[in-house]
Chain A
Amino acid sequence: GAGVSQTPSNKVTEKGKYVELRCDPISGHTALYWYRQSLGQGPEFLIYFQGTGAADDSGLPNDRFFAVRPEGSVSTLKIQRTERGDSAVYLCASSLLAGGDGSPLHFGNGTRLTVT
């Protein structure tokens, strides 16, 4: 079946610009996560949705970062006034449930963001 889809796969933008990264999770998965992966590092948590609401956004680095999931399916990560330090691979993952059942996360291939 279809996995987690992320678009675009690559995004190059100039410093100061606004970008949107899209994630289409596996159908029926209620939990959706955004992680950021810098070169040589493991995925770093950004935000987690349960349904339409952000259950935990404690990983967002500052108020330039925002994410939405208005209908409980597709999510968009939005970055305002991009900085060169935002350059990384942004990973989206979904899971069937969240909480005590420990459902594994299913990852997309990521969006590589480069800020010049």
Chain B
Amino acid sequence: LAKTTQPISMDSYEGQEVNITCSHNNIATNDYITWYQQFPSQGPRFIIQGYKTKVTNEVASLFIPADRKSSTLSLPRVSLSDTAVYYCLVVFLGSSNTGKLIFGQGTTLQVKP
């Protein structure tokens, strides 16, 4: 069964780029990697999803190396409003094509002025 590991916390300053890495063992070739942002008392909010190499959208980039044993969420020029908990989610598709969904424990990002 796939397991994910993330740093518990990170600090940054406004305007800096932040990179958060998630390690995931035994990920199958057909697994998605997805990242979510969560504010207190709210449900997680989708940020970005990828399969391999690099994916970029209007808010973030996701880097996945060839061995797929990790993924890195990159947030360019963070602001105070990016202070939140960030989770990686691995979707493990078993032989029956049903899904086993595993979240990391989350990385609390604190952005300072």
Partners in one complex: no
